[in-house]
Structure 1
């Protein structure tokens, strides 16, 4: 079997198409949640913290200064605000995906299990038990 025919067989499987669809929808969904966080959640948090954007939060180790030659030396800071904003993005995405999956599982009907036929020896034992009870 040639490589091209193997590739066609691989692509023709339903799982690959489903996975590709999920990746595309997931990327679009991530953009929606990021817009929600950037446009609604973070401005509210910024308002509550006195107008400071969360992504601007940082701990300055060494402030910006001028060296002996007159060149500006950039500040050295730990920018933990960007990490917190990304963490909030992640938690919101995870929560919304949880809610979507929970709704999907609630809507999906459980598969009906086929009735299992009782083995013949069990039926005979039941008949013997019932006749002994009389």
Structure 2
């Protein structure tokens, strides 16, 4: 499953604006992904978090195509590990980040906060600089 599927995000935001004035809300953006071993077993399967850059590197290493879920507005791919385990990786990219950042203007929010800045991802900053005027 996507890290933050857009329909789920919208559900939370639709509720949030009934309780909090939109201009007091900062939208949280995820800056990471998950590498899920399959099959997924509820309450048992654990997925390590990975950086978005590492997700892209994994796709390249395993020579697999990155797909895009239009409903979730999130990229994902599958690969087979050396031990034969199939993995499903969900992460964020420029498209998914743009979709989430567009919610700020749509809902009239104050801005956004990013979790986790300790995982550098150039696509994030390219999207932000294309959408907003950044002053020194």
Rg larger in structure: 1
Per the normalisation by structure 1, the TM-score is 0.24
The structure that is strand-richer by fraction is 2
Per the normalisation by structure 2, the TM-score is 0.24
The structure that is helix-richer by fraction is 1
